[in-house]
């Protein structure tokens, strides 16, 4: 007898707001019917709009304004010592400012930028390829955490049911009984009350979400830096349900590039240039350039409608609506932002737009385009009616509060079904064999159609395969590598493969230029379907 169809969160497979994955939320239009409250407008428009249209022959990148220097000097009273306290001030010169920031990075860079994964972690599982997707064999993984203060004196089962909702309560109860969920490496009863400094460990059978099978191409590499062209759908580093299907794990496992330092990041659905440091010194140097806005970045995107002529500059502040779900919006209480846009081509009723972010806020390009009324054509989040009938144009979110917006976003995120069950099919507790594991995928991605990587202003390096000991992974499913767990609920589910529309967003990091360096990638296919002379852009 088959169990009824179960709805699980598409990205995290979780069923609760607390498990929402910051990077991977996306929405489908048919999942929400907005009914905004009439007559409510939370955003009073300013008299002087901050979106400025520049004609083609003007420069839309005025110099950035600097904060005025702050000087604080206080002398002691006459009744006290005549010593004067050292003056406290904000550095007024660029050199001083850079020195201060560099000291801060030097203090923390090594600790925060070194992944530190061992070979044992990399060897937990391996990949196979199917329907244009890179898949990971399910594997056993131990989650560990020290007890938080709010958990003390609470029953361990109650804590896991409330705090970790990746599995149903009965599964945690079974794990306690089987000794898979332990405290300080010891089996405990389900009514065990957590104490200070307890080390909790839970062994789970982990199933990762498929990503595109397109290869991560290396644009440039030397002893200090690695520059890659990240395909859409692959997260930069482990997060949520992604671990081995991430850029840092794939580079380590397939190119022997381990312990890379993250310099910056791209959203999971964004493709393009991604820089890693191979040494702590180089990582800090490049990160400092990015932080001090010495790096010129150019992105290409495809937006709805015919974008205006000339250079469009948007200076609207951006605020994070919720750090939990990673959603932003234009708001007067946000942080300063600046992006310039220019239409460089058209594809049907859409426009190809060149984007130059002068600041580096979260989702900056996507949010500014939403505000201007030209959202990225297939942006699953910011091109959605959850932001109101105007989909956030001009800051209009349909008269609802930010709290209601967050609630709607979480509800829709938890109802995602692109990885839903295939019809009502439930598989046995054993992993499917190669034939049974094949499922229908919508418009699979062809990884063979990519063009060669473009590398400019760089001396040729040795063959990448030679430098990294790269070996093409075994692309076929091997039932001998599959594992199963009779207590794993996901082993009993048959998830539908994601289609092309679930894996790609029309936003690509094209060019980065810093002090003494410049890198450029090839353009994705969606940006090449128009008569654009990119050499003249």
- Specify the pLDDT at position 141: 92
Residue 427 scores a pLDDT above 60: no
DSSP H or E segment with residue 403: helix 402-414
Residue 80 scores a pLDDT above 80: no
The DSSP code for 502 is H
Contact residues for 275 (Cβ-Cβ < 8 A; gap 6+)? 225, 226, 227, 263, 264, 286, 512, 519
Residue 182 scores a pLDDT above 60: yes
Question: Known catalytic residues?
Answer: 267
Residue 409 scores a pLDDT above 70: yes
Contact residues for 12 (Cβ-Cβ < 8 A; gap 6+)? 19, 20, 21, 24, 166, 240, 241
Q: What is the pLDDT of residues 474-530, one digit of tens each?
A: 678 998 899 998 888 888 888 889 988 889 999 999 999 999 999 999 999 998 866
More confident residue, 268 or 113: 268
Residue 92 scores a pLDDT above 70: no
β-strand pairing of 271-277 with 507-514? parallel
What gap in Å lies between CA 527 and CA 216, rounded to an integer? 19
Smallest CA-to-CA distance from 527 within 469, 466, 451, 436 is with 451
Give CATH for domain 295-418+501-511+526-532.
Answer: 3.30.2350.10
Residue 244 scores a pLDDT above 70: yes
- Specify the pLDDT at position 378: 94
| Domains 139-206 and 295-418+501-511+526-532 belong to one CATH topology | no
- Specify the pLDDT at position 490: 85
What gap in Å lies between CA 91 and CA 94, rounded to an integer? 8
Contact residues for 214 (Cβ-Cβ < 8 A; gap 6+)? 231, 445, 447, 450
Residue 85 scores a pLDDT above 50: no
Least confident of 17-21, 126-130, 144-148, 308-312: 17-21
Residue 104 scores a pLDDT above 70: no
- Specify the pLDDT at position 334: 94
Residue 470 pLDDT class (50, 70, 90 cuts): low
State the chain's mean pLDDT as an integer: 75
Contact residues for 408 (Cβ-Cβ < 8 A; gap 6+)? 32, 34, 386, 400
- Specify the pLDDT at position 468: 55
- Specify the pLDDT at position 283: 95
At 509 the three-state DSSP class reads: strand
Average pLDDT over residues 410-427: 46
**Tokens standing for 181?**
């969920």
Domain 139-206 has CATH 3.10.290.10: yes
Residue 205 scores a pLDDT above 70: yes
Which range has highest mean pLDDT (10-19, 78-87, 226-235, 238-247)? 226-235
Residue 3 scores a pLDDT above 80: no
Average pLDDT over residues 237-261: 93
Q: What is the pTM of this model?
A: 0.69
Share of the chain above pLDDT 70, in %: 66
Residue 413 pLDDT class (50, 70, 90 cuts): low
Least confident of 336-340, 351-355, 469-473: 469-473
Average pLDDT over residues 7-11: 38
Phi, psi for residue 173 in degrees, rounded to 5: -65, -40
Average pLDDT over residues 102-113: 38
- Positive/negative CA dihedral, 393, 397, 399, 402: negative
Domain ranges in the chain? 139-206, 295-418+501-511+526-532
More confident residue, 237 or 82: 237
**Tokens standing for 479?**
């039932």
- Specify the pLDDT at position 414: 54
């Amino acid at each position: 007898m088959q169990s009824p169809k179960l709805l699980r969160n598409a990205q995290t497979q979780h069923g609760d707001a607390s498990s929402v994955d910051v990077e991977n939320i996306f929405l489908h239009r048919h999942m929400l019917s907005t009914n905004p409250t009439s007559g409510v407008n939370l955003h009073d428009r300013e008299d002087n709009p901050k979106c400025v249209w520049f004609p083609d022959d003007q420069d839309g990148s005025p110099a950035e304004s600097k904060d005025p220097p702050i000087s604080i000097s206080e002398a002691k009273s006459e009744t006290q010592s005549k010593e004067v306290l050292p003056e406290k001030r904000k550095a007024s010169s660029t050199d001083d400012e850079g020195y201060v920031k560099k000291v801060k990075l030097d203090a923390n860079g090594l600790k925060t930028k070194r992944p530190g994964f061992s070979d044992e972690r990399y060897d937990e599982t391996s990949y196979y390829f199917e329907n244009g997707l890179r898949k990971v064999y399910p594997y056993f993984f131990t989650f560990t955490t020290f007890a938080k203060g709010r958990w003390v004196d609470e029953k361990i089962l109650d804590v896991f049911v409330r705090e970790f909702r990746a599995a149903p309560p009965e599964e945690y109860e079974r794990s306690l009984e089987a000794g898979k969920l332990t405290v300080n490496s010891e089996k405990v009863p389900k009514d065990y009350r957590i104490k200070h400094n307890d080390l909790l460990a839970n062994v789970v059978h982990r199933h990762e979400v498929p990503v595109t099978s397109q290869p991560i191409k290396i644009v440039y590499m030397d002893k200090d830096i690695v520059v890659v062209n990240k395909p859409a759908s692959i997260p930069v580093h482990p997060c949520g349900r992604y671990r081995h299907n991430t850029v840092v794990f794939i580079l380590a496992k397939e190119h022997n590039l381990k312990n890379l330092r993250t310099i910056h990041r791209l959203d999971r659905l964004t493709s393009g240039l991604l820089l890693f440091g191979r040494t702590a010194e180089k990582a800090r140097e490049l990160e400092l350039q990015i932080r001090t806005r010495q790096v010129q970045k150019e992105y290409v995107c495809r937006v709805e409608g015919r974008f205006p002529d000339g250079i469009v500059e948007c200076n609207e502040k951006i605020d994070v609506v919720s750090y939990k779900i990673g959603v932003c919006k234009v708001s007067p209480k946000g942080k300063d932002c600046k992006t310039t846009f220019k239409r460089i081509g058209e594809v049907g009723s859409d426009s190809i737009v060149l984007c130059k972010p002068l600041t580096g806020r979260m989702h900056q390009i996507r949010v500014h385009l939403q505000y201007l009324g030209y959202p990225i054509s297939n942006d699953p989040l910011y091109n959605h009616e959850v932001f109101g009938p105007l989909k956030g144009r001009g800051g209009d979110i349909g008269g609802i509060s930010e709290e209601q917006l967050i609630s709607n976003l979480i509800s829709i995120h938890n109802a995602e079904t692109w990885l839903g069950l295939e019809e009502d099919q439930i598989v046995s507790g054993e992993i499917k064999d190669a034939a049974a594991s094949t499922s229908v995928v919508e418009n699979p991605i062809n990884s063979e159609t990519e063009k060669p990587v473009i590398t400019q202003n760089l001396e040729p390096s040795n063959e990448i395969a030679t430098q990294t000991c790269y070996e093409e992974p075994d692309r076929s499913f091997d039932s001998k590598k599959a594992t199963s767990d009779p207590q794993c609920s996901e082993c009993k589910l048959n998830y539908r493969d994601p289609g092309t529309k679930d894996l790609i967003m029309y936003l690509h990091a094209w060019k980065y230029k810093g002090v003494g360096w410049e890198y450029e990638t090839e353009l994705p296919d969606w940006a090449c379907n128009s008569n654009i002379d990119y050499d003249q852009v």
